[in-house]
Chains A and B, each alone.
Chain A
Amino acid sequence: MPDFSKTLRVLLSASTVIGVCALSQTPVHAEDAALDQAVLDRGAYIATASDCIACHTKPGSQPFAGGLKIATPMGDVISTNITPDPDHGIGKYTEQDFEQAVRHGVRKDGAYLYPVMPYVSYAGMTDQDVHALYVWFMHSVKPVASAPAETTLVFPANMRSAMAAWNFVTTKEEPESGDSSTYDPLRRGKYLTNALEHCGTCHTPRNFMLSEKQDRYLAGTSLDGWYAPNITSSKTGGIGNWSEDDIVAYLKTGHANGHAQAAGPMAEAVEHSTSHLTDQDLHAIATYIHQVPAMDDDMEHQARDSFGKAIEAQDIRQSAPTRIDDLTEMDGQHAYDANCAACHGQTGMGTKDQYAPSLFHNSTVGSARPDNLIMTILHGVQRKTEAGDVSMPDFSGHSDVQRLSDAEISKIVNYVMATFGSGDPHVTADQVAQFHKDK
């Protein structure tokens, strides 16, 4: 990960404090607006497609009441309460205040939001959709009268005013106009991908100013340990070899047979957002993604899902069981056998229905980067959609199922990638440790 602290100091030196220019309009309330169900439905759908809930809800807590800690290069940002509670949420926001926050990253009191709030993407939202979103938040979201802890970043990142300068230099999504539901598939797909789903927030690498590098649009980058892969149309570096139906299946269920499955933040995006989109919209996204300019990858030179095949597993059984106190660390093959094979099979084929996916023809294993395989073993997979409630346990030091050492995890990663994937990455225990430090 690049060193951002210097970046922010540069940023700060150019910053100016922008004054507050709150507009004195009154917020919309249920009693003074004739509720148009179509507007509410549209707002609900826009909220889903924009995946507001992912960041603004702490797991197990009230929807949109904030409190989720989000790791950023600047430090942990705690999401805010965006329920219509007047004191703790956005209940006093006028539509104009709301629009300023969503599309421009400016809070009602004039302070700047941290760009972990993807307003540079939402900047592309149409007026009609911002209106619908506002009406829906004000009428349909249950107010929650509690405020999450304040974000406390260390200097200089704690200077929200620095964001003004950043906003000045960063590239924002061009605003769209008209009725977004009437767009042709390509335009609709672009709108969904960029303005709503904000795919680039994770999949586009950022420059030294933390702005998305538009010349590497969707070309993949690291994100809090996970690697958000290249999803451009490159047939070697990206997902150019996927069919439109593969992309739709992936976004709908989190799984595309023979290609990839979603874990970590992408599993959340599928669960909360993309799995709820209409098939028509998913096809629109796929249409658009398919024509995103191919970006080759400096590490991936063969499609990530093209590696490996089922293996004839060598019989490694021994004649006698070991004593119950024998916790000797196993080599990669035995550790795979003991921890992975029950679901993914001795051959690596996974289950027949691919609930447990095959490990060959699997982007996570075929990637030249072992990041996502390490993260999957450390964090497991949790993904609930209409297609099922997928769950792989974690194997970290907090697991109830099996606690593996960093050395054991490194051996499994190396064995799995050598056997089913792009080759032995020679990951060390110390490298595995980097993925769970401070967690």
Chain B
Amino acid sequence: MPSEENLSADVVIVGSGVAGSSIANELARAGISVIVLEAGPRVDRQHFVENFRNLENKPSYQGPFPAVPWARHPPDQQTPNDYLHTTGPNAEAYQQVYLRMMGGTTWHWAGCAWRYLPSDFELKTRYGQGRDWALTYDDLEPFYYQAEVMMGVCGPDPAVEDLGSPRKQPYPMDALPISYAAQQFRKLIQEKTPWRVVHEPQARNTRPYDSRPTCEGHNNCMPICPIGAMYNGSYSVYHAEAAGAKFIPNAVVYKIERDSANKRVTAVQYFDPDKGSHRVTGKYFVIAAHCIETAKLLLLSADEQSPDGVANSSGHVGRNMMDHTGVQVTFISGDQALWPGRGPLETNVIDNFRDGNWRTDRGAYLVHMVDDNQVDLATQLAISKGYVGRELEEQIRYLASHTVRLFSHNEALPDPNNRLTLSKDHKDILGIPHPEVYYKLPEYTVRSCEHTRYVFRDLIKLMHGTDEQWTPGYFPQDHPAGSTIMGTDPKDSVVDGHCRTHDHDNLFIASSSVFSTVGTGNITLTVAALALRVADTLKKELAHA
């Protein structure tokens, strides 16, 4: 445990995931002193790989990461959840998972590194829905590129495949080779439908990059890349540490202190696992603790000065919870074998439903043709059909090579009634309340999901599919957003366009919690770009301080 007198820095960051660690890295490299407080422990890859091997249920993304009691995180999606309690008509659609540990949730993700479309930042202006962000695509473009370089993103040449987000620089790495399954799928879509399949930008190495090896297609990006070819926040932690940033693990921040005028944050307090309390002072503070934990911490810091929580004069902290709600189907193709499961998990996307005038009426979505190994599912199906012996083996081979899995993630809208609160009934071993979320799918999203189902049925028909298995209801995509929403008006938003809280001059938030709308791609690259923009603001302000 560090001695108390050292617990002061120019910038204090809460959270060591992609947002917190990349800010720490940028600031430390500029000679700024940084302390990062991480609620979870310091970890390493080899133990997760062993946990993954020990795991019976391989597709369990949270499985290899059993939490510590002082920094709990939710268990798997759609399992009874005794940490993130969800209520409301669509409670099951908000059982988000994330990790509380050094490096954050990018320990398990699929590396999807989309830039948002310019229209995603102007949904209200262009389509009369949701809100506009307090910044434009052009404001973020240089930071998108910086994030791509930091993470190591590969993607298609825009001259060949324009993904709709204008680029000033080429991708840091060339696109991935296209797997056999993806080639078949692309050909089908191109020849038989008005749609297209694009190469999804991926934060994974297609050549040795940043002292990490080239992707070998192990096909278990989730739950753990065994070789470090895919980006995760731990690399930024290492880089930041090498540049002089100080990371303190097992430091569960529970209180944000402000000055008497309630304009500036003066310190944060954290518990160690034994509930010893420590105080960390600084000039600037960044909360980068994931959408759910960030809002939880702001609410938890309520006191006489701020009875509704820190940075919450608008009353919007914890509101506007959004996600990319999932619709998923698997089926057995009646055409030739696809042999999915070779290469990275998610690389092939139908992006025709990402933008259009119909966004006045229903949400946008991406369709992923998931390239994951289907032996588990094929085995279950073959057994359920009653096959035994040699026939069972043959069926498993046939089904595994013909299984197609499609899922879409559908855009939500900010609705203040979709709200995170502190649980009154459940507390962790430190006495900190668990988060609780009320969730009702916006009609806009429901219509998008319905549209998805039509498209999926078309695709099943096109591939002469049988044995359809639809994932029941709506399922979460672990892209929570909106809990400290961005806007220009302090009366109905929590942060401004630079992710600075309206209420406290030196308090920033780096998380998908600032998203004004949830956008049309996976969220991580935008989280990283916003974080790097926060780092840029802090560097400028500290240089002039």
- Which listed segment binds B: A31-39, A40-48, A203-211, A336-344? A336-344
**B238 and A400: CB pair below 8 A?**
yes
Is B117 at the interface (CB under 8 A from chain A)?
no
What sequence of 0s and 1s flags, for each residue 199-214 of chain B, a beta carbon within 8 Å of any chain A beta carbon?
A: 0000000011011111
Within 8 A of A (CB), among B199-249: 207-208, 210-214, 216, 218, 226-228, 234-235, 238-239
Q: Which of B43, B55, B213 has the most CB of A within 10 A?
A: B213
**Given that A338-B50, A394-B211, A401-B212 are known contacts, is A325 also in contact with B218, CB under 8 Å in the complex?**
no
Determine whether the beta carbon of A324 is less than 8 Å from that of B66: yes
Per-position binary interface string of chain A over residues 299-332, scored 1 when its CB falls under 8 Å from any chain B CB and 0 otherwise: 0000000000000000001111111111100100
- CB nearest neighbor in B for A388: B214
In the complex with contacts A324-B101, A400-B234, A400-B238, A393-B46 CB distance below 8 A: no
Question: B40 at the A/B interface (Cβ < 8 Å)?
Answer: yes
Residue B67, interface by CB 8 Å:
yes
In angstroms, how far is the closest chain A Cβ from the Cβ of B99? Answer: 8
B47 at interface by CB-CB < 8 Å: yes
Shortest distance in angstroms between B399's beta carbon and chain A's nearest beta carbon? 24
Residues of A within 8 A of B214 (CB): 389, 391
Closest to B238 in A: A400
For residue B41, CB closer than 8 A to chain A, the reply is yes
Query: Does A436 reach chain B (CB closer than 8 Å)?
Result: no
A317 to B53, Cβ gap below 8 A? Answer: yes
Q: Does B65 contact A (CB under 8 A)?
A: yes
Least CB distance, B151 to chain A, in whole angstroms: 12
> What is the distance, in angstroms, from A255's C-beta to the closest C-beta of chain B?
16
Q: How far is the CA of A349 from the CA of B250 in the complex (A)?
A: 40
Would B238 and A321 count as touching, CB distance under 8 A? no
B480 at the interface (CB under 8 A from A): no
A392 at the interface (CB under 8 A from B): yes
A335 on the B face (CB < 8 A):
yes
Name which of A324, A351, A399, A403 has the most chain B CB atoms within 10 A of its CB. Answer: A324
CB neighbours of B49 from chain A (8 A): 337-339, 342
Choice from B54, B64, B235 contacting A319 with Cβ under 8 Å: B54
A158 within 8 A of B: no
The distance in angstroms between the C-alpha atoms of A123 and B227, with both chains bound, is 46
Determine whether B45 belongs to the interface, using a CB cutoff of 8 Å to chain A: yes
Contact across chains for B216 and A351 when beta carbons are under 8 A apart: yes
A279 to B87: give the CA distance in the assembly, Å. Answer: 71
Asked if B30 is at the interface (CB within 8 A of a chain A CB), the reply is no
The complex places the Cα of A342 from the Cα of B101 at a distance, in Å, of 24
Q: Pick the contact of B211 from A319, A351, A393 — CB < 8 Å?
A: A393
B99 to A, closest residue via Cβ: A324
Contact: B68 with A324, CB < 8 Å? yes
1/0 per residue, CB under 8 A from A, across B465-504: the answer is 0000000000000000000000000000000000000000
Contacts of A257 in B (CB 8 A): none
Contact A321 B55 (CB under 8 A): yes
Task: Give the size of the chain B interface in residues (CB under 8 angstroms).
Answer: 40
Q: Which of B64, B99, B211 contacts A399 (CB under 8 A)?
A: B211
Whole-angstrom distance between the Cβ of B43 and the nearest chain A Cβ: 5
Q: Are A337 and B53 in contact (CB under 8 A)?
A: yes
For A399, give the chain B residue with the smallest CB separation: B211
Q: How far is the CA of A393 from the CA of B45 in the complex (A)?
A: 13
The answer for the CA separation of A127 and B42 in the assembled complex, in Å, is 62
Query: Are A393 and B66 also in contact (CB < 8 A) when A327-B47, A330-B50, A338-B46 are?
Result: no
Q: Are A323 and B68 in contact (CB under 8 A)?
A: yes
Is B416 engaged at the interface, CB distance under 8 Å to the other chain? no
**Cβ contact of A330, chosen from B40, B42, B46, B216, cutoff 8 A:** B46
The CA-CA distance from A335 to B41 in the complex, in Å, is 21
For B56, give the chain A residue with the smallest CB separation.
A319
Minimum C-beta distance from A230 to chain B (A): 30
Nearest residue (CB) in A for B218 is A342
For B315, list chain A residues within 8 Å (CB): none
Tell me, in angstroms, the Cα distance from A322 to B67 when the chains sit together.
Answer: 9
What is the chain B residue whose CB lies nearest that of A319?
B54
Q: Is B44 an interface residue (CB 8 A)?
A: yes
CA distance A260 to B180 in the complex (A): 31
Chain A 220-251 per-residue mask, 1 if CB under 8 angstroms from chain B, else 0 = 00000000000000000000000000000000
> Cβ of B50: which chain A residues have Cβ within 8 Å of it?
321-322, 330, 334, 337-338
Q: Does B423 contact A (CB under 8 A)?
A: no
Contact of B213 among A322, A324, A325, A392 (CB under 8 A): A392
Most buried by B among A318, A392, A393: A393
Q: A318-B54, A400-B234, A400-B238 are in contact. Are A325 and B43 (CB under 8 A)?
A: yes
Contact digits for B48-66, partner A, Cβ 8 Å, 1 yes 0 no: 1111011100000001111
A349-403, CB < 8 A from B: 351, 355-356, 382, 389, 391-394, 399-403
A391 to B48, CA, bound (A): 22
User: Using Cβ atoms and an 8 Å threshold, which residues of chain B touch A400?
Assistant: 210-212, 228, 234-235, 238-239
Nearest A residue to B249 via CB reads A325
Once bound together, how far apart are the Cα atoms of A402 and B207, in whole Å? 19
**Contact check: which of A321, A334, A391, A401 meets B64 at CB < 8 Å?**
A321
Ordered by A's residue number, 7 sampled pairs between the chains whose C-beta atoms are within 8 Å are A323-B68, A324-B41, A325-B41, A342-B49, A343-B216, A356-B216, A401-B228
A325-B42, A400-B211 provided; 11 other pairs, C-beta below 8 A?
Answer: A317-B53, A324-B67, A324-B68, A326-B47, A327-B47, A330-B46, A339-B46, A343-B216, A389-B208, A393-B213, A402-B44
